Structure 1
Amino acid sequence: MEPGLLTILMFSSFFALLALGIPLAWTTGSLGLIFAFFLWGPDAMSVVVLRVWDVMGSFSMIAIPLFVFMGNMLQKSGIAHDLFKAIQVWVGGLRGGIAAATILLCTVLAAMIGTVGADVTITGLIALPFMFQRGYDRHMALGSIVAGGALGVLVPPSIMFIVYGVTVGESIGKLFMGGVGPGLLFGGLYIAYILIKCYLDPSAGPAAPEEERNVPLIQKIALFKSLILPIGLILGVMGSIFGGIATPGEAAGVGALGAILCAGVRKQLDWNNLSDSLYETMKTVGLILWIVFGAMVFIATYTLGGGAEFVKTALVALPLNPWLVLIIIQVILLFLGMVLDIIGITVLLAPIFVPVITELGFDPLWFGVIFNLNLQIAYLSPPFGYSIFYLKAVAPPDVTMADLYKSVLPYMALQIVGMILCMVFPQIILWLPNLMVQ
């Protein structure tokens, strides 16, 4: 079968099955099997075993359950409430200070938890009622949580960097470090937008009352005492990767043990918290692996049928500047991010686009972070932005989907500005990986 015809048949069938409501993992896995059978016969069924074995045999994949468990245990430790209280006391006196504190909370939680869903859910439960009580602009409050939570895609230990690294063979440690600059950039853009908006319109984010602002300095400092251990743990885990002391998998193991110790020190280590953390970890990892297994079977069949080479040849041969080809790829990712699961996007498209990018002369590590910047935008993109639905699940009943859709628009514009900056100035991404100990 010609690669062009194979591309049309496989991807049209893919979107047709998704439109019928069939889960992504079953859609990709079944199509991979069916097309492999018709192309090469029963012997091709071994592709399933081989692709699953490749995933299960990858040492880097061990970082996923360990980092997810670390995040769940830190979540059970109750540090989010303490962290928000500490940040709010420090910046609550500013107009829009609580929304800015929410972005800071999301950034730190992203470094502790590594998953967007937990980040949005926690901040939605803690910060949203607080902002509503203070009379904050409804859309700014909602948008700050949805956008801030999506930073979990960029701030290490992001699970998406692990999935991407395993899929294309890129260094996970360097991807982690490459996400730091954009994560801080995006967080800074969000905070700048909030503070400027509230400066121009004080009613959008009233400052805290006088009695809350007049907290003695010693008390402000004391609020951070309970956070020294978990934040030190995160710095230690990321520092060991940066310094070349440990691989991401090894660092994740230390982090998981450290999270248990943090829970113990905070007197939150009991059977209920431990069992709940293990259960939530298994649910998350099970979901990730099924999507990865199905997508890898699909992409293996497509690649063996010449599809990936066909796409590479077609894109490289376009009479366009390489930057225009890169922009076309970004537009494709942005569009698919509106309708597809981001893990599926990564496993399906990263192996196709990375050879194209390499052939065009771009840095594959830089592109890996840019790829994940697109995924962060996907978390906010209507109609199926996952962050929107995570927040809807914990928001007050009077918060409508229309409110949420409207709230993300300014933050999506800021995300696109941030992505353009990272494309024009690659060192925003590459400066930290280039400093890593090899």
Structure 2
Amino acid sequence: MSYELIAILMFATMALMLLTGQRVFGAIGFVAAGAALLLYGNGAVEMPFNATLKLFNWFPMLTLPLFIYMGYILSEAGIAEDLYKAFHVWFGRLRGGLAIGTIVLMVVISAMNGLSVAGLAIGATIALPEMLRRGYDKVLITGVIQGGSSLGILIPPSVVLVLYGMIARAPVGQLWLAGMVPGLMMAAMFTAYVVVRCRLNPALAPTVTDDELNMPIGQKLKLLRAGLIPFVIFFTMMGLFVMGYTSLVESSAIGATGATIAAALKGRLNWRLIKETSKKTLSISCMFMWLILAALAFGAVFDGIGAARAIESLFITNWELTRWQVMAMMMASFILMGMFLDDTAMLVIVAPLYVPLVKALEFNVIWFGVLYTITCQIAYITPPFGYNLFLMRAMAPKEITLIDIYKSIIPFVIMMVITIALLMVFPGIALWLPNLVYGK
């Protein structure tokens, strides 16, 4: 049997197992273990142990539970809700101000948690009902929450970029810095879109009444101070890391410690909060660990049979595609897979194939990591099966239909596609900041 046919059979078996509802790490790990035993015999039993040792020797992996803990404790302690109240007061007189504040909130939550689901949950449960109650257009604000929450996997400390760095053997610090400018650029585009739409059609976003905003300046400053806590934690953590005072792991520990202190200072740190946060952190962290172990074993088999080189030969030698045509095919496959899988599953499935191909085509793996992440964002909110579409439908009030949700994401998808095009034409948008900090 040829190696190409072995590779096709492995992917077909994995796809079949995923369609039957098996857990992603179980499907990937089973296919990897089965293929290894059939190809290499009893000696293949060493592969999972080698993968485990490789994983435990990679210190940035320690940042995952710390960042996840930081995000959950800030969310569960109500600090994100305090931030929204501050936006409500300070942006309330601006046309579309609450929608703009929600975009800023999504950026901050992204910086707090690094996962898009956290931003979507907070936006749908806190911001969405408040804006609906104040007469905001339901299609506009649904799109704002979905588009803004997708920034969670691009703006540091992005958990997805940590996993990409693990699998692609790329520096996480450089990946974080590379994602920062495109992420903030998309947030600025979203904000500009809301401002323009609300200027053209003021009925989409009525301003908040004077009665709701009529409070002493001292109380407004108190609200602002409460809302600034996440910014202080984020800039302290990232600032010390960028300036070289702390390592990646030390920065994550500072973030987790800062979040705990913030919850304590607000009088919300109790046994129930610690217990719930620890359970959620452990659950998510273990899921990521199992996924990475499965991905490493799967990648080892692929490297062994030369599948990555076979695909490179197929695209470039047999089909005579240019490097940019191959890149476009990879981006399209991400969007297609994202309709059915989450970003982590996509990453561990295709990374063994695509990362060697990216290097062979002489593309920058840091730049490609940012492109991959943005295509994940598009896949998350693209009909008919976008991951975040159904999460939004489950959490949104009854008056927001699935059709409303589908309509709401169209302008945000267009802006994300524009961002990808700009990054392809001007790679320096992503690479400027890591080159500045780390040198070329």
Residue 336 of structure 1 aligns with an amino acid whose one-letter code is: M
* Aligned residue type for 1:57: N
Aligned residue number for residue 172 of structure 1:
172
Q: Which residue of 2 aligns with 1:366?
A: 367
1:375 shift after superposition = 1.4
CA displacement 1:285-320 (0-9 Å, x = unmatched): 122222222232222222211112212333343423
Which runs of 5 or more residues in structure 1 are unaligned?
none
User: Match of 1:172, as an amino acid?
Assistant: V
Paired amino acid for 2:336: F
Question: 1: distance between equivalents of 2:416 and 2:230?
Answer: 29
| AA of the residue aligned to 2:351 | A
SS in structure 2 opposite 1:223?
Answer: helix
Displacement of 1:333 after TM fit?
1.2
Could you tell me which residue of structure 1 aligns to residue 310 of structure 2? 310
2:182 is matched with which residue? 182
Choose 293-302 or 412-421, whichever is displaced more.
Answer: 293-302
**Contact 1:110–1:152 at 8 Å: present in 2 too?**
yes
1:187 shift after superposition? 0.8
Amino acid at match of 1:323: W
CA offsets per residue over residues 339-377 of structure 1, 9 Å max, x none?
Answer: 122112112222322222222222221111111111122
Deviation at 1:213, TM superposition (A): 5.4
Alpha-carbon spacing, 1:99–1:227, altered in 2? closer, same or farther (3 Å): closer
Q: Name which of structure 1's ranges 215-224 and 294-303 shifts more when overlaid on structure 2.
A: 215-224
Matched ranges for 1:94-113 at <5 A: 94-113=94-113
Pairing 1:12-27 to 2, within 5 Å after superposition: 12-27=12-27
Q: Which residue of structure 2 lines up, in the alignment, with residue 332 of structure 1?
A: 333
Q: In terms of mean alpha carbon deviation, does 140-149 or 11-20 score higher? A: 11-20
- 1-structure distance, mates of 2:271, 2:382: 39
Distance 2:221 2:421 in 1: 38
Question: Aligned ranges for residues 35-434 of structure 1 at < 5 Å?
Answer: 35-212=35-212, 219-317=219-317, 318-434=319-435
Question: Cα 1:296–1:100, aligned 2, differ >3 Å: closer, same or farther?
Answer: same
SS, match of residue 246 in structure 1: coil
Q: Does the CA-based 8 Å contact 1:76-1:268 persist in structure 2?
A: no
* Counterparts of 1:352 and 1:240, CA distance in 2: 35
Alignment CA distance shift 1:430-1:218 (3 Å): farther
What SS is found at the alignment partner of 2:21?
coil
Comparing 5-14 with 311-320, which one deviates more in the overlay? Answer: 311-320
Distance 1:16 1:96, change over 3 A: same
In structure 2, the gaps of 5 or more residues are: none
Moved more, 307-316 or 33-42: 307-316
Give 2:391's aligned amino acid: Y
What amino acid maps onto 2:90 in structure 1? W
Q: For residue 228 of structure 1, report the CA deviation from its aligned partner.
A: 3.9
User: For the structure 1 residues 134 and 257, does the alpha-carbon distance in structure 2 shift closer, same or farther, using more than 3 Å as the test?
Assistant: same
CA–CA separation in structure 1 for the residues paired with 2:117 and 2:31: 29
* Equivalence for 1:34: 34
CA distance in 1, matches of 2:353, 2:248: 25
Residue type matched to 2:48 in 1? V
Question: Structure 1, residues 408-433: CA drift from partner, whole Å, max 9, x if none?
Answer: 22211211111111221212211211
* Segment of structure 1 superposing worse, 145-154 or 20-29: 20-29
- Cα contact 1:244–1:436 (8 A) shared by 2: no
Per the TM alignment, residue 160 of structure 1 is displaced from its structure 2 partner at its CA by: 0.4
AA aligned to 2:368 is F
Query: CA-to-partner distance for each residue in 1:172-230, whole Å, 9 max, x for gaps?
Result: 01111111111111111111112211221222222222444566666544422123443
| Displacement after TM superposition at 1:9 (Å) | 0.9
Contact 2:339 2:383 in 1 (8 A): yes
User: 1:144: Cα distance to partner?
Assistant: 0.9
Q: Distance in 1 between matches of 2:142 and 2:227?
A: 26
> Given that residues 152 and 158 in structure 2 are in contact (C-alpha distance below 8 angstroms), is that contact kept between their aligned partners in structure 1?
yes
Letter in 2 for 1:411: F
CA distance in 1: counterparts of 2:406 and 2:286, whole angstroms: 30
Judge conservation of contact 2:111–2:156 (CA < 8 Å) in 1.
Answer: yes
Distance 1:354 1:243 in 2: 29
Q: How high is the TM-score relative to the length of structure 2?
A: 0.94
CA distance in 2, matches of 1:437, 1:58: 20
CA contact (8 A) 2:3 2:305 kept: yes
RMSD of equivalent CA atoms: 1.9
Deviation at 1:151, TM superposition (A): 0.6
Distance 1:44 1:277, change over 3 A: same
> Does the CA-based 8 Å contact 1:242-1:437 persist in structure 2?
no
Identity of aligned residues (%): 34
Judging changes above 3 Å, is the alpha-carbon distance between structure 1 residues 262 and 398 closer, same or farther for their aligned structure 2 residues? same
Q: Would you say how many aligned residue pairs link Structure 1 and Structure 2?
A: 438
